[in-house]
Amino acid sequence: MKVSVLGCGRWGAFHAWYADHIGHEVILWGRPGSKHLAALRENGRNAYLSLPKNVALTEDLAFAVDRAEVCVISISAQQLRAFSRQLARLPLAGKAFLLCMKGLEIGSGKRLSTVLSEELGGMPKIAVWVGPGHVQDFIAGIPNCMLIASAEESLTRRLAETFASPLIRFYYGADLLGTEIGAAAKNVIGLAAGMLDGFHYGSLKGALMARGTRELSRLIGAMGGDAMTVYGLSHLGDYEATLFSPYSNNRRYGENLILGRSSSHLAEGVYTSEALMALAEKYQVEMPISRTVYEIVRQNQDPQEKLLELFLRSRKSE
């Protein structure tokens, strides 16, 4: 199949590597002036992988989209709406879009598939690819299970079959809403896990995992999704990779915040915490963990005080 990966950062480069690895014809697109694209052109690699020579590199978005049967999108979640408007100016008939990114739009709290659909005119061929895994592990040949979800079962199955391999086994997601909310929110839980690591409160991660899934299930149910989706690969199934792994950007960001270290990139969970607060207010759902993270990373409240208040507050039922 002809696959174009739109976005050439860490995950975009991996998706190009992976699509080539399993036999597809691949184009990797980067924005004009992209440092990531320039480095790949000059060195044929980035900090994580060597890009196969079969992968074509381009700054021409129209060229990349025109040649593709499936467009894999891997960019910052907060850039998606503006990018979708660029896509909307191109011929898109018959193409499928696979969002390989996690997050919610700040201001609206909207899911990424909703943002893309709004800008492309309600196109139905939109799916998401989420779940546990790190580039470093996949490149080393360590397998994992991930999930593809969409509003159409036939599209979900087709894409899962297109990208399946011994390295990644795909499950079908039937609840697109719950999948996207859970996948985005696990980054907020990852920030909290990193903060606990920074304070050497790792023993509280058990409570964090149990209560984190619980509050997200309430939100997903209130929004009309399946409350049980949060216990699958998109959220709880991704906790090991997000709450414990040294490769986890969100966990590391939370830990660095406590230890006074700088972080090279703003973790997506920081934005997501703000979007979750908008959803919590809209659907009248209590989300104490997400609110605590939001108060720390967006309102600069005292991390130790807020975390201890969260976990050692007055006794209440589950």
Just list the catalytic residues. Answer: 186
Q: Closest by alpha carbon to 243, among 194, 301, 292, 174? A: 194
Contacts of 226 (CB under 8 A, 6+ apart): 174, 175, 178, 220
Torsion angle defined by CA atoms of residues 225, 227, 231 and 232, in that order, rounded to the nearest 10 degrees: -20
Rounded to whole angstroms, how far apart are CA atoms 34 and 8?
A: 8
Copy the structure tokens of residue 22: 């399993």
Query: CA–CA separation, 7 vs 126, rounded Å?
Result: 17
Say how many C-beta atoms besides its own lie within 10 A of residue 91's C-beta: 9
Task: Please list the residues that pair with 147 across neighbouring strands.
Answer: 130, 171
Structure tokens at 63: 């060229």
